[in-house]
Amino acid sequence: MHHSRLVFIFFSFFAGAVSAEEVQVAVAANFAAPMQAIAAAFEKDTGHKARLAFGSSGKFYAQIKNGAPFQVLLSADAATPAQLEQEGMTVPATRFTYAIGALVLWSASEDMVDGRGDVLRQGGYAHLAIANPKLAPYGAAAVEVLQRLGLLDAVRPKLVQGENIAQTWQFVASGNAELGFVARSQVTRGGKLSHGSAWIVPANLHPPIRQDAVVLANGRGNAAAGALMAYLKSERAKAVIRAYGYDI
């Protein structure tokens, strides 16, 4: 009797230890705030822990190619996960679009940016911040917008580049750049502009910013990786994603 009870206790402890796992997640910088909220809810609801690292999608691509131990990637584009998939570095059939991003021209000062983005033409600013277009999909979208507006050459001398969208936001928030192209999620709280002034760039001025998630080869067989992908599709996660100014 005594013996079987001990065995039972041992097994239930072991089962508990096995069922709660940790997953290493590479998260595009634009999605930092919503993902922190989602990761906290995920841990509470499932017992699994998501360890988050934030950066530019291009940098993560290089790190994953070089053997970084990430198990899930939440990219700022669809191209990077698709590329990794083609190169056999993901778990097949796990890729999906978790959010559609929006680009915003933003200034920390209340009256700098008008609702049509005319400030870009009118000038009156020395620095325009964008994320590095080679590494950050939001930076590539910003360049595309400036090209379509016929302003790229005119503003080129004023461009300052952040390594990722988080650093770009920092330039504008600190006033080192009077305005910049950032992710709507970075300046949105509860569906409203948190502070400053902004022009939400019409979606037809750049290709849609489809943000895809994928389980990486390292995450194969990791219960927490699978659970996180399912959780990102849940209504609870979608509510957070929408509240931060993304479409789904």
Residue pair 145/103 in contact (Cβ under 8 Å)? The answer is: yes
pLDDT category of residue 123 using cuts at 50, 70 and 90: confident
Per-residue confidence (pLDDT) for residue 13, from 0 to 100: 47
Using one digit for the tens of pLDDT, what is the confidence trace for 129-139? Answer: 999 999 999 99
Selection from 4, 1, 11, 24 nearest residue 228 by Cα:
24
- The pTM of this model reads 0.85
pLDDT > 90? residue 222 = yes
* Assigned CATH class of 103-200: alpha beta
pLDDT at residue number 191: 78
Query: What is the spatial distance between Cα 23 and Cα 218, in angstroms, rounded to a whole number?
Result: 10
State the pLDDT at residue 1.
53
Q: Is 51 a residue whose pLDDT tops 70?
A: yes
Give start-end residues of each CATH 3.40.190.10 domain in the chain: 2-100+210-243, 103-200
Q: What is the pLDDT of residues 195-207, one digit of tens each?
A: 999 999 998 999 8
* pLDDT tens by residue, 152-170: 999 999 999 999 999 999 9
Q: Label residue 42 by pLDDT band (50, 70, 90).
A: very high
Calculate mean pLDDT across residues 13-20: 55
Distance CA 157, CA 146 (A): 13
Summary mean pLDDT of the chain: 92
- CATH topology assigned to domain 2-100+210-243: D-Maltodextrin-Binding Protein; domain 2 (3.40.190)
Query: Residues 27, 184, 139, 248: is their CA dihedral positive or negative?
Result: positive
Does the pLDDT at position 8 exceed 80? no
Task: Tell me what pLDDT residue 185 has.
Answer: 92
- Tally the C-alpha atoms within 13 A of residue 16's C-alpha that lie toward its C-beta: 6
Could you read off the pLDDT of 224-234 as tens digits, one per residue?
Answer: 999 999 999 99
The side-by-side arrangement of strands in the sheet containing 49-55 is: 49-55, 22-28, 72-74, 209-215, 96-101
pLDDT at res. 2:
56
In the chain, % of residues over pLDDT 90: 86
93 phi, psi to nearest 5 deg: 65, 25
Write the pLDDT tens digit of every residue in 89-102.
999 999 999 999 99
At residue 83, does pLDDT exceed 60? yes
- Per-residue pLDDT at 16 exceeds 90: no
pLDDT value of residue 189: 82
Residue 149 burial by CB count (10 A; 0-12/13-18/19+): exposed, middle or buried?
middle
